[in-house]
Amino acid sequence: PKRFLHMLPPGPPQQPEAASHGGGSRAFSKKTLTWRLVGEAYSSQLPVDEQRFIFRLAFRMWSEVTPLHFQEDLGARGAAVDIKLGFGRGRHLGCPRVFDGSGQEFAHAWRLGDIHFDDDEHFTAPSSDAGLSLLKVAVHEIGHVLGLPHTYRTGSVMQPNYTPQGPAFELDWSDRKAIQKLYGVCEGSFDTAFDWVRKARGRHGEVTVSFSTYFFRNSWYWLYENRNNRTRYGDPIQILTGWRGVPTHVDAFVHIWTWRRDERYFFKGHQYWRYDSDKDQAHTEDEQGRRYPRPISEGFPGIPSPLDTAFYERRKQLVYFFKASSVFAFDVNRNRVLESYPKKMTEVFPGVEPRNHPLRSIDSAYYSYAHKSLFLLKGSSYWRVVNDRDQPRGPWLPPNGLFPKRSISEKWFDVCDVHTSTLR
């Protein structure tokens, strides 16, 4: 019983302002938290592996929208584990709060990281629509342990009463913003970002064009759903899973698209890969018999490597390659660098505001079809490039000028890492 003496439900919030908007208060100061389903408290209703799988998914769902990482820890001493989960009936696990049997109270969470589930309840796997979804209850209780209070907002996972889980149970916008109020938004640089353009034939044979937005970082990637202002549920995913043959830590992606050509290239180090969008894998050999990966110097003579990034300017049919503070304009039809290049990045993309420029070593030059603009990404910031639609409103704006920098997380929301152990 002593163990729980100091584990009372959340006391007066540490940050009074947190209480004022009822938003709860941050419970942990570190970024990676460990959790464990305690061995003496398995449920008797689901296979243990399924219980752990469901908890792993519940933690992952919070990790996909916060800077927090969660790692299952089966080895450390119990006291060292940040969040411990267990099932019990009636008087359970030394907890002062007795469960009441099936119905009414189904679980509770203690501020310092213990979550108890009443095993008299009928907990079920996400695929079932009977009973209480263990996933939904676990996400709710983890929300408490992280510092979120109850809310009566319809659709929130933090409602005190259980509402049957719809077909696609996910954290909605407001729950995301509530937890980000406590732990901040997700920041961080990307290896590259690009829109993948797909052509398809419509019902009447007309060609339709659609695009998907991707962010790549290290060995994983996200698809970003522009219309929903968030990444795809369940991302990030490992690059090797979704992009067969593409290496990790890519430097750049370029889609060369003219009337006669439709080629997609990934660049890393001194090499580049060509991607076969029909077969959805990297080419080992293309129709001209060229084998991949190839040295960049062979396919793009005059271009140095390794690169910082690159993008393809469709109207001029030029690939702009970025390295350090230089920009190289490569003519894809004459297969060579334009005579007047390389140039300084500050010359090609002058800052609209003094001393507000990435200057060198950008991470990505990303043309967004959703925003119809080119963005230079570096670290957690972006600079949007002046385009034709800006000019009428601001004739003084220099062509290809860079607007002052903004935070990437203000434009593309919830692009969050997860612990690598949950990427598999």
Partner 1 sequence: ETLFHSRDRSDLEPTPLRRAKPIADLHAAQRFLSKYGWAEGPLRMEAAPRGPSPEGPPQGPSGAALAAAVRRFQKVNALPASGKLDLATLATMNRPRCGVPDTRPLLQAAATSPGTPPAVPGPLPRAR
Task: By CB under 8 A, name the binding residues for partner 1.
Answer: 1, 3-13, 19, 22, 44, 79, 89-90, 96-109, 111-113, 120-122, 132, 137, 140-141, 144, 149-150, 152, 160-162
Of 161 and 288, the one with the shorter C-beta distance to partner 1 is 161
Cβ 160 to partner 1, closest distance in Å?
Answer: 5
Of 26 and 343, the one with the shorter C-beta distance to partner 1 is 26
Of 10 and 293, the one with the shorter C-beta distance to partner 1 is 10
Given 141, 225, 287, 313, the catalytic residue:
141
Task: Report which of 98, 113, 92 is spatially closest to residue 41, judged by C-alpha positions.
Answer: 92
Angstrom CA distances, 190 to 94, 215, 378, 392, 405, stand at 47, 7, 8, 32, 16
141 is an active site residue: yes
Reported as type and span, the H/E element at residue 292 is none
C-alpha to C-alpha distance for 69 and 66, rounded to whole angstroms: 8
Burial class (CB in 10 A: 0-12, 13-18, 19+), 170: middle
Query: What one-letter code names the amino acid at 381?
Result: S
Cβ 155 to partner 1, closest distance in Å?
Answer: 14
Cβ 64 to partner 1, closest distance in Å?
Answer: 22
Contacts of 229 (CB under 8 A, 6+ apart): 173, 413
Of 5 and 207, the one with the shorter C-beta distance to partner 1 is 5
Reported as type and span, the H/E element at residue 255 is strand 252-257
Of 103 and 202, the one with the shorter C-beta distance to partner 1 is 103
C-alpha to C-alpha distance for 351 and 344, rounded to whole angstroms: 12
Cβ 17 to partner 1, closest distance in Å?
Answer: 13
Task: Report which of 416, 424, 422 is spatially closest to residue 180, judged by C-alpha positions.
Answer: 416
Of 11 and 289, the one with the shorter C-beta distance to partner 1 is 11
User: 149: which 2 tokens?
Assistant: 């209070």
Cβ 8 to partner 1, closest distance in Å?
Answer: 6
User: 386: which 2 tokens?
Assistant: 């002046």
Of 150 and 411, the one with the shorter C-beta distance to partner 1 is 150
Cβ 146 to partner 1, closest distance in Å?
Answer: 12
Q: 173-183 vs 134-146: helix axis angle to the nearest 10?
A: 30
24: region left, alpha or beta (phi > 0 left; psi from -120 to 50 alpha)? left
Cβ 403 to partner 1, closest distance in Å?
Answer: 44
Task: Report which of 131, 126, 135 is spatially closest to residue 60, judged by C-alpha positions.
Answer: 135
Contacts of 376 (CB under 8 A, 6+ apart): 349, 358, 362, 364, 365, 366, 382, 383, 385, 402
Q: Are strands 271-276 and 281-282 parallel, antiparallel or unpaired?
A: antiparallel
Active site residues: 141
